[in-house]
Amino acid sequence: MTGEQMPLLEKKLSATPAAPFTGSISGSEGDVPLPQCIAHRGYKAAFPENSMRGFEAAVAVGADGLETDLHLSKDGVVVLSHDPSLKRCFGIDKKVADCDWHYLSTLRTQQEPHVPLARLSDLLHYLAQPDRPELDSIWLLLDIKIDDDPLDLLPALLKTIESVPATRPWKQRIVLGGWNENWISHAATLLPGYPIAYIGFSLIYAHRFLSEAKYPNVNFNLLQQGLVGPAGGQFIKAIRRAERKLYVWTVNEEIWMRWSIKKGVDGVITDDPKKFRELCDRYSQPKGKSGNLVKSDKVGLVKKVKLYTVAFFIQLLSVGFLVLWWRRLNTRGKVKKGKGEDVPTSQVLPITS
């Protein structure tokens, strides 16, 4: 019996595939592995985030992949929005979940050029254009928000994906990102055959996903600054030993871009894909032309100390946040049996404890 033929409640996370299509590209400067360029919410540095204009621009400047965020509208449409609220991007004090698509489609971003809210189906149709085979290599890293009920959002996500035919199978182009065990377990069960990545900032919480017995093939999408230092270095080595993929977010400073290249991460998630692509291009040039550019780091000592200090404090804050929010983090995404009553995840998905 194949993984996709297994009954829903018998689904094992071991059926989750690895993500070989997101591998690194070798450069010529000392055989440096170059991470793939992943555009954070599209070309966020120059266009409204999660907009079709931003995604198209990211592809135009050479992004290998696109990172985007998912929420569910009141009438079950999967839309691309980082926030559960429309306030920051659209100036409307309402939640996405409280609005139907007919209303949401009328909104325009506050940021110029005032573009509409995009649906996941819009992005998939763009990437699946039959007359643009060059788009077949572009893949998606989905940040599936935990504000929605997984039994509502995930089936809607699968239905949306299956509604858009593509030459290259979507299972080879989409990585599902989840923020906790519950969501990752549901994603493995409800969308069998799709690669999965844990999204987070805490190495303490992330460590459980290294388990080969419980979470084989789960990749990692981690806060880059949380990996700076000895503990982060050891965790990166553990990811390598487990043969998982590592993507880091959100990398906009050149010093951190260089750090990511030196650490050999698989993908760099950045607001400025053009900037990162240009840096990678310099690494890829012959030694005689690019050696000095690659080896020199022109960041001043004061700024470098400041950046590393910020990274250290972010790590401290992540520990505090994990302690304060542990219960909420560990219960988000549990299935509800009745109003206010949790069904233990172990009863629904045998892969969790």
Q: Is residue 81 part of a domain?
A: yes
pLDDT digits (tens, 9 = 90+) for 197-224: 999 999 999 999 999 999 999 999 999 9
pLDDT digits (tens, 9 = 90+) for 292-345: 454 545 667 778 888 888 888 888 888 777 777 766 666 666 655 544 444 333
Token duo for residue 80: 């691309």
Taking 3-state DSSP, the helix, strand and coil percentages for the chain, each rounded to the nearest 5, stand at 45, 15, 40
**What pLDDT is attached to residue 120?**
98
Please state which of the ranges 1-10, 174-183, 255-264 shows the lowest mean pLDDT: 1-10
For the CA atoms of 144, 150, 156, 160, the dihedral, rounded to the nearest 10 degrees, stands at 30
Please say whether the beta carbons of 64 and 38 come within 8 A.
yes
User: What sign results for the dihedral spanned by CA atoms 343, 348, 352, 353?
Assistant: positive
Token duo for residue 325: 């929010």
Q: Is residue 11 part of a domain?
A: no
Token duo for residue 17: 């595939």
Burial of residue 307, with CB atoms counted within 10 A of its CB: 0-12 exposed, 13-18 middle, 19 or more buried: middle
Residue 290 pLDDT class (50, 70, 90 cuts): very low
Q: Is residue 20 part of a domain?
A: no
Q: Is residue 225 part of a domain?
A: yes
- DSSP notation for 168-184: S-GGGTEEEEESSHHHH
**What domain count does the chain have?**
1
User: What sign results for the dihedral spanned by CA atoms 13, 328, 154, 35?
Assistant: negative
Q: Is residue 8 part of a domain?
A: no
As a whole number of angstroms, the distance between CA 320 and CA 273 comes to 32
Q: Is residue 116 part of a domain?
A: yes
pLDDT digits (tens, 9 = 90+) for 158-207: 999 999 999 999 999 999 999 999 999 999 999 999 999 999 999 999 99
Residue ranges making up the domain that contains 180:
25-348
Residue 264 pLDDT class (50, 70, 90 cuts): very high
Q: Is residue 3 part of a domain?
A: no
Alpha-carbon separation of residue 89 from 7, 42, 69, 80, 84 (angstroms): 41, 14, 13, 12, 11
Q: Is residue 102 part of a domain?
A: yes
Query: In which region does residue 193 sit, left (phi positive, over 0), alpha (psi from -120 to 50) or beta (all else)?
Result: left
As a whole number of angstroms, the distance between CA 30 and CA 34 comes to 11
CB atoms closer than 10 angstroms to residue 347: 12
Please say whether the beta carbons of 196 and 176 come within 8 A.
yes
Domain containing residue 82: CATH number:
3.20.20.190
Cα–Cα–Cα angle for 7, 13, 19, nearest 5°?
A: 120
**What pLDDT is attached to residue 56?**
98
**What pLDDT is attached to residue 15?**
54
